[in-house]
Amino acid sequence: MTDFRDRERGEEAKFAFDEENAFKIAARRNRLLGEWAAGLMGLTEEETDAYKKAVVQADFEEAGDEDVIRKLLGDLTAAECDVTEADIRSKLEEKNIEARRQLMGEV
């Protein structure tokens, strides 16, 4: 019985660890995306910092990446940047890989 409980606790700890890492990777990815988009829009350093935070906050609107994509597409379109949804999705994947590498490099 103890072995089963130990195994169960181990699985719960692994799940919590994996969820925490997924959250950290998504937040870092969103900051990187915000920085990329801010560069396209020609924002100042202060505006870029605020925009990165806004992109991270946008991810809390709903599950998945659609809220972030919608925000970026709307903001970039409003700034008259020539970017498509496909471009944003591609950059999202690229920044996800970069965020994962950065996070794993810190551990």
Which pLDDT tens digit goes with each residue over 48-99? 999 999 999 999 888 889 999 999 999 999 999 999 999 999 999 999 999 9
| Average pLDDT, integer, range 1-14 | 79
Flag whether pLDDT at 18 surpasses 80: no
**pLDDT grade, residue 107 (50/70/90)?**
low
Flag whether pLDDT at 1 surpasses 70: no
The Cα 91–Cα 29 span in angstroms is 10
Q: For residue 52, what are its two tokens?
A: 């990165």
DSSP 80: T
Q: Is 59 helix (H, G, I), strand (E, B) or coil?
A: coil
Give 105 or 79, the one with higher predicted confidence. 79
Q: For residue 5, what are its two tokens?
A: 């409980």
Q: Which domains does the chain have, with CATH numbers?
A: 2-106 (1.10.790.20)
| Average pLDDT, integer, range 2-13 | 81
